[in-house]
Amino acid sequence: MKNILKDFVHQIDTMNTIGGGTTATLVNVQKKSDKLVIEVNAPSVHSESFNIYLRGNQLIVYTVLNDTSMVTDDMEQSARHMTPMFNRVFDIPATVDREQIDAIYENGRLRVILPYHEGQIEDVKRIDIREY
């Protein structure tokens, strides 16, 4: 029964892709001893469609589908014809070395590597609760 369901889901995904649709975007976050790795698996999305921004302690990853038939010289007008496909905001720890963040796209998978500052371990401090 499990294999039948797995085959059925794969068939639906394949038919959606062949029909011009997009497959579901899968995200995996791995916390390693020396870095944080965010993997976004989106086989139907081209690397040019991804956007990555760092704002404060947040990493913003999103994709848009551009309707190229509606592109004009007016950026505001063109922006109205962008369809968001994926949007995710990740909180990143203060121990990440912001200057060394790297992104690699390969075979439908975006990997964002966020190395920690060398020799710095994330501090965890317990806060005592006072009673009145």
Phi-psi region of 77 (alpha: psi -120 to 50; beta: other; left: phi over 0): alpha
| Domain ranges across the chain | 23-115
Rounded distance between C-alpha atoms, residue 123 and residue 105, angstroms: 32
What are 16-47's pLDDT values in tens digits?
554 455 567 889 999 998 999 999 998 888 88
User: How would you write the pLDDT of the chain (132 residues) with one tens digit per residue?
Assistant: 555 555 544 444 544 554 455 567 889 999 998 999 999 998 888 888 899 999 999 999 998 876 554 445 555 554 555 666 789 999 999 889 999 999 999 988 999 999 998 765 556 678 888 788
3 state DSSP class of 127: coil
Backbone dihedral angles phi then psi of residue 92, each to the nearest 5 degrees: -115, 145
CATH topology of domain 23-115: Immunoglobulin-like (2.60.40)
